[in-house]
Structure 1
């Protein structure tokens, strides 16, 4: 992995861009925290719902791997979401050792509402931007994300 300390000195615009990314992360993170809290969710529970919404039913083990958490952690998240009627667990149809997790109708409706809120925010932020400018912005973010995946987080702690 690359270290931030191993990278050559960057000119002012690169630093300013990174500063804006940090600011965006803080603002977006706070907005997400408030939005989830208003809906009675933690970010971890919302992540589980979002994974099931996008990828469909999956085993608890696959869900844990997709979220980057332990199976024990997923069990606790699913217990709470099942109690709220948002997810259902049932025996896997072909693997008797596995449990299949899916959204309930209430969970699908709830998650579709989250998606609607996300779409409204996207419209608020980007509706008046020309498509080519938005394409450039998205491509730059993709590049930044890919490069950040190669950075050693302990090198700049």
Structure 2
């Protein structure tokens, strides 16, 4: 049986996909460990991440941003609200809608997660030439877009625009 390491040095699509699977596995473990330390699940952490990057929004907008049903968002929010990460407040102009925003505790938790991500990024990519990193970033953006079935994000100075996590 061949392992992914048997093809070391070969730049083929199947070897690249094998490396991507290996990377996903390692990153998944690291992410799970990081969010577990804060008593979060991946889905709850993703919701907090969206609020950090996009600010307060309605539950419907959150469901759309996360690609889940409103019922699913309600379950996530119930748990996050119980743990003090988010709060629901009346919409300022639409009395039928409810806004969701991070609490100070929620902001601190997700900021800590982001800082851990930033430290990891600095350590992983510190000695990689900028041109290699730009190519890697563009390739990952293209592969991710293909997996999602969407066109690649527009680029700015050769770097793909950030997208909401899926």
Whether the TM-score (by the shorter chain) exceeds 0.5 is yes
In 2, the alpha carbon distance for the partners of 1:41 and 1:80 equals 10
Instruction: Quote the residue 1:92 is aligned against.
Output: 91
Task: Confirm or deny that 1:60 pairs with 2:33.
Answer: no
Secondary structure of the corresponding residue to residue 18 of structure 1: helix
How far is the alpha carbon of 1:150 from its aligned partner? Answer: 3.0
Deviation at 1:27, TM superposition (A): 1.1
- Distance in 2, matches of 1:69 and 1:25, equals 22
- Aligned mates of 1:39, 1:115 — CA distance in 2: 13
Following superposition of structure 1 onto structure 2, how do residues 139-154 of structure 1 map, counting pairs within 5 Å?
Answer: 139-150=138-149
Structure 1 gap ranges (5+): 1-10, 152-157
Structure 2 unaligned residues grouped into runs of 5+: 1-9, 151-166
Residue 136 in 1 paired to residue 155 in 2?
Answer: no
SS of equivalent to 1:90 = strand
Match of 1:4 in 2: none
Between the aligned partners of 1:87 and 1:107, the Cα distance in structure 2 is 6
RMSD: 1.6
Structure with higher helix content: 1
Cα drift, residue 147 of structure 1? 2.0
SS of 1:95's equivalent?
A: coil
Aligned residues: 141
Q: Distance in 1 between matches of 2:148 and 2:50?
A: 20
- In the superposition, the TM-score normalised over structure 2's length comes to 0.80
Deviation (angstroms), 1:73? 1.2
Give runs of ≥4 in structure 1 deviating > 3 Å: none
TM-score, scaled relative to structure 1:
0.85
